[in-house]
Amino acid sequence: MTTTPAEPDLQAAFDATIDRHDRVEPRDWMPDAYRKTLVRQIAQHAHSEIIGMQPEGNWIGRAPSLRRKAILLAKVQDEAGHGLYLYSACETLGVSRAELTELLLTGRQKYSSIFNYPTLSYADVGTIGWLVDGAAICNQVPLCRTSYGPYGRAMIRICKEESFHQRQGYELLMTMMRGTDEQRAMVQESVDRFWWPVLMMFGPPDAQSPNSERSMAWGIKRNSNDELRQRFVDMTVPQAEALGVTLPDPDLRWNEERGHYDFGEPDWREFAAVIRGDGPCNAQRLAHRRAAHEEGAWVREAATAFAERETAARETAARDEAAREQAARDEAGAVR
């Protein structure tokens, strides 16, 4: 007779896995709080990929050339794929994609605050690639080593594609900076609008982040919000200098003693307002997502009906085959 280990033993085994920096897999025992934290983080990440298709999708029909349109189409398709990988990872924790979608559409789960800002010019496509995807890379590369296996494996592919997106965005801005005065001004104006919202992507300061410390203790996160924000600034300043744009921060300067750039403080009141739902595009983003979900209902229903029909056909075929085999055995027995 097998016995189920007592919870203290299961907790000890889980803690040992985390201490060894090994992976927790879906069939392993895990504390409810760990599972809930993962669902919250992975779902928010997945929602961000899906909602994040909208700002750049806004420019697909207005891209200045066939090449630029093809690049943008491919990128938006990649974001859809990232969302699907992450929803699949979340499903391994016992929550369905339908539940996650409902939580997003009713505002009970969040997505990245950066996608609640409008894309007002074509330069924003490049700025999103350079800054937004650059910040995402800083955030996500450490997640390839996250303690939850399905999440870490999904992140490996996502980070490779995000790195390509970042280079695409930077190449677009470099091309525009070699253009007319108007194009250069457009790039600078775009950077001015996005810089501070991008710094907010890393989340609130560590002292004000209720989830960060526990996530790091469990190995879900590998770095704190402030560490990642500093890493991003240090990485981005030389790129901005090469590009020829000015980052809109009067406090930005190299600190020889620290070996890092000093920079100003984002407006955390604005961040709180956007998270609360009062950003420039919160209502628009969710309304668009709800409409797309409703308009796609027939596709989901058709796919479900097809799957049910195929399952029924296989079950009928299996029953018929079993009946034929039984009839053959009965006939053989009668002959004997």
Q: Is residue 314 part of a domain?
A: no
Q: Is residue 287 part of a domain?
A: no
Q: What does the pLDDT look like over 76-88, one tens digit per residue?
A: 999 999 999 999 9
- In angstroms and rounded to an integer, the radius of gyration of the C-alpha atoms of the chain is 25
Q: Is residue 223 part of a domain?
A: yes
Q: Is residue 121 part of a domain?
A: yes
| High-pLDDT (> 90) share of the chain, % | 91
| High-pLDDT (> 70) share of the chain, % | 98
Give the span between the Cα atoms of 60 and 43, in whole angstroms.
Answer: 26
**CATH number, domain at 106?**
1.20.1260.10
In sequence order, the 6+-apart residues with CB closer than 8 A to the CB of 267 are 196
Q: Domain residues for 142?
A: 8-276
Q: Residue range 176-205: average pLDDT?
A: 98
Per the structure, the count of domains in the chain is: 1
pLDDT tier at 262, thresholds 50, 70, 90:
very high
Q: Is residue 319 part of a domain?
A: no
Q: Is residue 179 part of a domain?
A: yes
Q: Is residue 30 part of a domain?
A: yes
Give the span between the Cα atoms of 57 and 328, in whole angstroms.
Answer: 61
- Cα 211–chain centre separation: 18
Q: Is residue 207 part of a domain?
A: yes
Q: What does the pLDDT look like over 92-142, one tens digit per residue?
A: 999 999 999 999 999 999 999 999 999 999 999 999 999 999 999 999 999
Residue 3 pLDDT > 90, yes or no? Answer: no
Give the span between the Cα atoms of 132 and 221, in whole angstroms.
Answer: 19
